[in-house]
Amino acid sequence: MDWLLFLRWLHVLGATVLLGTGAGIAFFMVMAHRTRDPALITHVAGTVVVADWLFTSSAVLLQPITGYLLAREIGWPLSEGWIVLSLALYVLTGCFWLPVVWIQHRLRQLASDAAKNTAPLPARYFQLYRIWFACGFPAFLSVLTIIGLMLARPSFTLW
């Protein structure tokens, strides 16, 4: 396998992990939340937190490195419109993902406390869950748009 093909493979793998892990985490958190069972939510949120740190953060680090190396290797200027827009959307995704990671930790802790005390989930849990849920949409749509831009590589200038 030559270097360029390897870089492309790594970049596509990273994008796939970001999209797949994001969708999987969202699905399992929503399904656990729907049960309103603090013990189950604690367990699922714990797994989600590990998956986010292990898979998502690895892909988050991999994407800009492989993207930069690909652009350099192929000769695409980083000022290319689709690259600039992709990078802006990547930053936007990060602005939603970082609070989501923190919220997932808090949801797990709040659910764990409720389970230990055999109490219902507190109001703060539901407030944070709504924020977590709302943050997922722009982040997920941004990742989908970035993948579309990577595939289509439309030619346009932003300035």
Residue range 92-136, pLDDT digits in tens: 999 999 999 999 999 999 999 999 999 999 999 999 999 999 999
Q: What is the pLDDT of residues 23-64, one digit of tens each?
A: 999 999 999 999 999 999 999 999 999 999 999 999 999 999
User: Which sign, positive or negative, has the C-alpha torsion 110, 112, 116, 120?
Assistant: positive
Helix ranges, the chain (H): 3-35, 38-51, 57-74, 81-116, 123-152
* 3 state DSSP class of 153: coil
